[in-house]
Structure 1
């Protein structure tokens, strides 16, 4: 679709926004990135485009907003369906992909408590995070190169943003994701070889530095 105006309201470290960035890159769609300040004043455009949740990311296509990252990724896949499909044409495989993407969304709270808590609360979150990733590794990935099989797809897009946060989880949780979930880390390294991904995701050390400063500000360090 030529001459489309595509804008992404996002925060550079958002794993949810990373999904949309990767999907757009996979489809080779040019877009304008508008940075939103998390925890700061929300822009008038964000409030106009997402009046319900008032959160990023928001994909704006020809002036019309699409909110919630997984919905936006599906939208991108449907609108630009002539390039690199992310969801299978098979209804059952699509249903399975949506199931695992929804499962991945629930991992956010575990990860957040690792860097936003300490003591027993942090330890419980770490166990939950590791156990959940082991389920993903065992039940969804298995011995396949990607979650959908031989080709990079929807579930990979759903999870890859979280991969850039693994370093932060490990640093504050004092564990090794590679030791706990070796196949999952190997999958992440495989994904990072794709141009659409390594150009879309931020440096994990940069995320860590921002969270370290946050922890100092709130008295966790």
Structure 2
């Protein structure tokens, strides 16, 4: 099916989705690591609008934005389908994927960066979103049923990302007793070989933010806002 390249960043939760999908499909690809502090000409060439990773390049033609790329991969390579064929089920999976990106991830990040007097409310908001995800996976092996699907790949790096935000922000987001189904799913999911070999680990994220100075910037900002 032609040459495939992935322009990504190894610590990006959005980029690992793409590699997982390609591995599930058995698609060979070239991976190009991007330095987001010094964006390369190839990234600017293939994603001149947003200048962000991930970017999939297939036969010289780029596809940007992780959810769009996942659908492109699923439609281009038919093996091991990620999205259900039923239109309603497919639309539902897309809806929840957007919910994860636009609500779960953003609310967790907001809780991490919240001022001290706002943290409790921000954490409650983030946990409300996680409670919805917990209900979605309740009684299921995977979000789509018996095999890894589109929504599993979208949610997949969320547990490690949340652990990182807990450490960075000094907060508690994931409670095994409060979210038992999500907790159980996440433990099993990250042990799947193709997932485990390519997933951002909390300690790596913390190390990157610490050495880059971003962690101190976030904490200093929160302290300044509390004065």
What TM-score do you get using the length of structure 1 for normalisation? 0.89
Q: Provide the C-alpha distance between the structure 1 equivalents of 2:173 and 2:87, rounded to a whole number of angstroms.
A: 37
- Using the TM superposition, give the Cα deviation of residue 215 of structure 1 relative to its aligned residue in structure 2, in angstroms: 4.3
Please give the residue correspondences for 1:34-183 in structure 2 after superposition, counting only pairs within 5 Å. Answer: 34-38=32-36, 40-81=37-78, 83-106=79-102, 107-138=104-135, 140-171=136-167, 172-175=169-172, 177=174, 178-183=176-181
Identify the residue that residue 224 of structure 2 maps to in structure 1: none
Identify the residue that residue 22 of structure 1 maps to in structure 2: 20
Q: Secondary structure at the match of 2:152?
A: helix
User: Does the 8 Å CA contact 1:115/1:168 hold for their aligned counterparts?
Assistant: no
Unaligned runs of 5+ in 1: none
Tell me which stretches of 4 or more aligned residues in structure 1 moved more than 4 Å: none
Q: Provide the C-alpha distance between the structure 2 equivalents of 1:195 and 1:56, rounded to a whole number of angstroms.
A: 24
What's the C-alpha RMSD, in Å, of the aligned pairs?
1.9
Identify the residue that residue 225 of structure 2 maps to in structure 1: none
Q: Provide the C-alpha distance between the structure 2 equivalents of 1:219 and 1:184, rounded to a whole number of angstroms.
A: 28
- May I ask how many residue pairs the two structures share in their alignment? 216
User: Does the 8 Å CA contact 1:115/1:211 hold for their aligned counterparts?
Assistant: no
- Using the TM superposition, give the Cα deviation of residue 219 of structure 1 relative to its aligned residue in structure 2, in angstroms: 6.1
Identify the residue that residue 220 of structure 1 maps to in structure 2: 219
User: Does the 8 Å CA contact 1:113/1:121 hold for their aligned counterparts?
Assistant: no
User: Does the 8 Å CA contact 1:7/1:32 hold for their aligned counterparts?
Assistant: yes
Cα deviation 1:136-186 (Å, max 9, x = unaligned): 111x22211111122210110111022221221232343251243221121
Identify the residue that residue 5 of structure 1 maps to in structure 2: 3
What TM-score do you get using the length of structure 2 for normalisation? 0.87
